Amino acid sequence: MAYFCEEEYENIDFKKQSLAKGEYEACRFINCQFQELHLSDFNFSECEFIDSDLSNLRWKESRLQDAWFENCKLLGIRFDELSSFGLSFKMQNCRLDSSNFFGLDLSRCSFENCQLWEVDFTSAQMQNSILRDCDLRNAHFENSNLMACDFRGSSNLQIDPQGNRIKGAHFNLDQLPGLLLEHRIKIEK
């Protein structure tokens, strides 16, 4: 497998210019286009993705370790197809609408100021994860481990405390209605 270290890729449309299969370590992808590519069995370690579009990317059995995503579009991505070995990433100011994290260990992952509309976190292990200042409109949490997860500042939060483990999770007072929605309790000021 080819090995690439500390390379920088800028303004590249990888649908027109293919990305060599291999292991990428400490590489930077700036303003790159990855939409609908199939990148199976790639390794991305300590890589940065900035201002890039990865929408509908397929990366079955690829590794993502200590990756950084900033201002990226990651719409409709099946993160659950990634290798779970060492999975860790941080996302800031990204859009991940309709993405799937089913059953993944996200305990070493964070989302800050991200749009997570209709994202599936079913059965995800998210203890100690960070989801700060995110828009979680219609995000689905079921049988998820959210213990000590930080949701402060996030909006449109709807979590059933009986169907998820939330002990020690951090919420703002204004997020309380999203925790009581299943009980049809009306909260008024």
Residue 189 pLDDT: 59
Residues 114, 83 share a domain: no
DSSP string, 100-132: B-TT-B-TTEEEES-B-TT-B-TT-B-TT-EEE
> Which domain CATH number covers 155?
2.160.20.80
Residue 16 pLDDT: 93
Q: Please give the single-letter amino acid code of residue 128.
A: N
Residues 131, 52 share a domain: no
At 169, is the pLDDT very low, low, confident or very high (cuts 50, 70, 90)? confident
Residue 184 pLDDT: 53
Residue 25 structural domain: 1-89
At 182, is the pLDDT very low, low, confident or very high (cuts 50, 70, 90)? low
At 171, is the pLDDT very low, low, confident or very high (cuts 50, 70, 90)? confident
Structural element, H or E, at residue 177: helix 176-180
Among residues 89, 110, 139, the one where a domain terminates is: 89
Residues 117, 80 share a domain: no
Whether residue 96 is contained in a domain is answered as no
Distance between CA 48 and CA 66 in Å, rounded?
Answer: 9
Q: What's the rounded mean pLDDT across residues 120-149? A: 96
Residues 107, 85 share a domain: no
Whether residue 110 is contained in a domain is answered as yes
Residues 138, 85 share a domain: no
Whether residue 158 is contained in a domain is answered as yes
Among residues 33, 60, 89, the one where a domain terminates is: 89
What percentage of the chain exceeds 70 in pLDDT? Answer: 91
Tens digit of each residue's pLDDT (9 = 90 or more) over 76-97: 999 999 998 899 999 999 999 9
Whether residue 142 is contained in a domain is answered as yes
Pick from 35-39, 48-52, 111-115, 118-122: least confident: 35-39
Whether residue 95 is contained in a domain is answered as no
Residues 58, 1 share a domain: yes
Distance between CA 112 and CA 135 in Å, rounded?
Answer: 10
Residues 150, 76 share a domain: no
Q: Is the pLDDT of residue 175 over 90?
A: no
Query: Which structure tokens are listed for 38?
Result: 């199939």
Domains in the chain, number: 2
Among residues 30, 59, 89, the one where a domain terminates is: 89
Residues 77, 11 share a domain: yes
